[in-house]
Amino acid sequence: MAQLNFGGTQEVVATRDEFPLQKALDVLAKETIAVIGYGVQGPGQSLNMRDNGFNVIVGQRAGKTYDKAVADGWVPGETLFEIEEALQRGTIICFLLSDAAQIALWPTVQKHLTAGKSLYFSHGFGITYKDQTGIVPPADVDVFLVAPKGSGTSLRRMFVEGKGLNSSFAVYQDASGNAREKCIAMGIGVGSGYLFETDFYREVTSDLTGERGTLMGAIQGIFAAQYEVLRANGHSPSEAFNETVEELTQSLMPLVAENGMDWMYANCSTTAQRGALDWWKPFRDATKPVFEALYDSVKSGEQANISITRNSQPDYREKLEVELAELRDSEMWQAGTTVRSLRPERA
């Protein structure tokens, strides 16, 4: 493992240099990896492992998602099974259903977690909030996670492009004495570029904060605020959208991803630099109390309880669609649909 210095803090990072793909294949050579769920993370992780040469099967109930798995090349009766049969066949159970679905399916999964098997997650939710979820693995199985820092779609896209999406990894229970090595091998298999060590609690608290914060919740709130101010002051929908979203996502964020915020600043006009340097601290000061309240809500378990309660309701999907429609049908994102349609095709 590499020891990297992050601003004076030492962190353990696993890379493909010291843990190449062939080593990962050797570690998991006798394993049957059963991916349970083919929704958000399931397709990307299972397809990447399959293309990397691992022995992978998928467990999914009949329906649209099952049909998608067939379209992706999983063969019924050979590499695609009903969930219970996949659980029985698998030696590493990749539990990639939604948090609410994991709670509902846990009694079935638990029945098939016989001694010597491994239980794999991509989120620390079920284990960390075990008092609420009821997910308590037996003592004679390994339990670990690999959490890609992005969607399953991004994980797959980057893999196809020959790149790797960074992930975190953690071992919760080492019954075999080999859980850490298996965990890192799985991380390499699913297409991670680097693997940063953490634990289940830190993974879920940072993840819940990030999703509700800068990754999704905060960014939508900031987009909406700026867009509404521009529109209220006479700017057209396209101009407001371009200055709020399009320039950020298409131009500036790729520069940040490439070399950092300071490099992005250096590649903007001096007028833009001056304004950004003058205003970032007021934005930090205005939003930091919101982030502190958010983190406290995550840490207390309140956010987990909200997710479990709401996402377990029988009409959850219908209510979710109503809330998503508010975003989709807003003027800002309708403008976005039009602006995106005007992007020229690359030659």
Residue 346's pLDDT band, with cuts at 50, 70 and 90, is low
pLDDT tens for residues 140-176?
999 999 999 988 999 999 999 999 999 999 999 999 9
The predicted-structure confidence for 63-105, as pLDDT tens digits, reads as follows 999 999 999 999 999 999 999 999 999 999 999 999 999 999 9
The fraction of the chain above a pLDDT of 70, given in percent, is 99
Span 47-55, mean pLDDT?
98
With beta carbons less than 8 A apart as the criterion, state whether 150 and 165 touch.
Answer: yes
> Across 26-30, 61-65, 313-317, which has the greatest mean pLDDT?
26-30
pLDDT at 52 > cutoff 70: yes
Strands, E assignment, 19-151: 33-36, 56-59, 80-81, 92-95, 118-121, 142-148
pLDDT of residue 344: 82
**Is 212:307 a contact under the CB 8 Å cutoff?**
no
Show the domains of the chain with their CATH numbers. Answer: 2-198 (3.40.50.720), 210-341 (no CATH)
pLDDT digits (tens, 9 = 90+) for 117-128: 999 999 999 999
Radius of gyration of the chain (CA): 22
Q: What tens digit of pLDDT does each residue of 196-230 get?
A: 999 999 999 999 999 999 999 999 999 999 999 99
- Known catalytic residues are 123
Residue 27 main-chain phi, psi, to 5 deg: -60, -40
Question: Span 24-32, mean pLDDT?
Answer: 98
Mean per-residue pLDDT, 258-265: 92
pLDDT of residue 15: 87
Q: Please report which confidence band the pLDDT of residue 11 belongs to, taking 50, 70 and 90 as the band edges.
A: confident
Express each pLDDT in 187-198 by its tens digit.
999 999 899 999
Average of per-residue pLDDT across 37-49: 94
Give residue 56's pLDDT. Answer: 98
Contact 220, 327 (CB under 8 A): yes
Q: What is the dihedral of CA 168, 109, 154, 74, to 10 degrees?
A: 140
Please report, rounded to a whole number, the percentage of residues in the chain having pLDDT higher than 90. 87
pLDDT of 3 strictly over 80: no
Q: For the segment 264-309, what is each residue's pLDDT rounded down to a tens digit?
A: 999 999 999 999 999 999 999 999 999 999 999 999 999 999 999 9
Give the helix/strand (H/E) hosting 77.
none
Rounded (5°) CA angle 256-122-6 = 40
